[in-house]
Amino acid sequence: MRKKAHFFVLAILASIVFGCSDDGDTYQPTYLPSIDATALPSENHPMTMFEDNESPSKMYDKTDRWFRVNEPFQIIQKGKDSVQVSLYSPVGLTNVKVYAKLPNYDKRFLLYSFSKVPAFHRSFHKIPLTEKKNDYLLESGNTVTIDKIEGFSSGAIQFSVESDDPLFQKFKKIKSNHLVQFHDGYHINELGKFLPMNPVLAKEAITMIINYSYALSHPLYYSTFTNFDKYKQEQAATAGTTINGALNWHGNAEDVNGVYDYLTKDEIEKIYWNYLDKRTVYMAMVGGDSAWGGGNLASQWESGYVSGHWVGEMSVWSHEYSHHIGFSHSSNLANSGEGGGQQEMLTHFYKYLIYLNDLPFTDSDVLKTWSKTNYLTGTYKKPVFIISPKNPFLLKYKGEGKWN
């Protein structure tokens, strides 16, 4: 027996009152239609973000272009009666459901259902609650009927997103919630040391950092990171040598004749989660002889954005990202010295994930950036990935370990 729940807004009380009635099996709910975001009318103002010829000023607008790496599909309330929908992904999604939760009501109900959302999509949608009385599907399968509500203050509606799309399921696994933006201050203040990015490169940067965040969140990465001493032992045993250099992760204090400031297990665990926190990262492009990182900044050369990450060459990015987290050259968390540090380990691991096809994006054809010569300073060919048979993760896991 399907139940229909009603609630009404009482303006005097400024609260929501709920009541339920049982109409037996006779009530036939009428739900809002599914939305195909590839064919929206003009009133939704549909657009593709980061079009090749888009003005970089839009990309650098930090009030407008930002996302969290674990939430590439973004819902932001605009005014009292609308939302902005954005997808920061080079590949579109299917069957995306946006649920809403209101104050004083503990059940989520389906607000929007998108059959298709194209890559780097943005559009604007009226909140149907503000237009007329509608039926909405609850997660339980029951129906709630909600009368028209005049509007909502900011934050009054909590939005959540679900989808059975395999790509979205990969997004959900990302534990990192870094906020990603682009910042023009670096090349404006230090042109030469840094160069301007453009939307073509920004799309590559977004693609890379989602992949990278997935890799950081991966159970195999967590296990290896928190047991780096074991990883070092296994590397030495495979090579038939003694352990070279530092035996485990150590901090920023300078090495004194092979004496390192080793981190405790608890400190290593905390550092791992620091890599996945809420801090803001500004992605920039290097123009000079050295890449730079620290504070909010993490950067690399054009070649790293265009082709490097597709073939797993993540050493520079890992190094600068670790500066962004707070480690200096004296720590093996930010270098490959002392017989191998995080730069080396992360690069081997990232290549193994490409080999497993266990990243959100592994096909450079989704962007074809190497072919967009008008927007690049270098000349590139299509990246071709090859894994070394000596990759330590390949040797250990032998094709196993995919994040299922």
pLDDT, tens only, 121-150: 999 999 999 999 999 999 989 999 999 998
The larger pLDDT score, comparing residue 213 to residue 336, is at: 213
pLDDT over 90 percentage in the chain: 82
Pairing of strands 82-87, 179-182: unpaired
Does the pLDDT at position 289 exceed 60?
yes
Bridge partners, 74 (sequence order): 86
219-228, 236-245, 350-359: segment of lowest average pLDDT? 236-245
Q: What is the pLDDT of residue 325?
A: 93
Beta strands in 188-322 (DSSP E): 194-195, 280-286, 293-294, 297-300
CB 317 within 8 A of CB 212: yes
Can you say how many angstroms the Cα of residue 214 is from the centroid of all Cα atoms in its chain?
8
- Say which residue the tokens 């400190």 belong to: 267
Q: What is the pLDDT of residue 25?
A: 63
pLDDT band at 21, cuts 50/70/90?
Answer: very low
Task: Report the predicted TM-score, pTM, of the whole model to 2 decimal places.
Answer: 0.92
Residues in CB range of 123: below 8 A, 6 or more apart: 37, 40, 44, 45, 46, 47, 84, 85
Q: What is the pLDDT of residue 302?
A: 96
Pairing of strands 297-300, 280-286: parallel
The secondary element (H helix, E strand) that includes residue 100 is strand 93-101
* 58 secondary structure, DSSP code: H
C-alpha–C-alpha distance, residues 67 and 86, integer Å: 9
The secondary element (H helix, E strand) that includes residue 232 is helix 228-239
C-alpha–C-alpha distance, residues 181 and 339, integer Å: 34
Q: What is the pLDDT of residue 24?
A: 52
Taking residues 303-324, report their average pLDDT. Answer: 96
64-73, 151-160, 186-195: segment of lowest average pLDDT? 151-160
Can you say how many angstroms the Cα of residue 247 is from the centroid of all Cα atoms in its chain?
32
pLDDT band at 105, cuts 50/70/90?
Answer: confident
Does the pLDDT at position 202 exceed 80?
yes
* Neighbour count for residue 351 (Cβ, 10 Å): 21
Helix, strand, or coil here: 350?
helix
Taking residues 352-363, report their average pLDDT. Answer: 98
Q: What is the pLDDT of residue 150?
A: 87
Q: Across 9-13, 236-240, 378-382, which has the greatest mean pLDDT? A: 378-382
- Say which residue the tokens 């992949």 belong to: 211
pLDDT band at 353, cuts 50/70/90?
Answer: very high
Output the average pLDDT for the chain. Answer: 91
In the numeric block, which tokens belong to residue 30? 């009428």
C-alpha–C-alpha distance, residues 253 and 381, integer Å: 42
C-alpha–C-alpha distance, residues 91 and 93, integer Å: 7
Taking residues 69-87, report their average pLDDT. Answer: 96
pLDDT band at 14, cuts 50/70/90?
Answer: very low
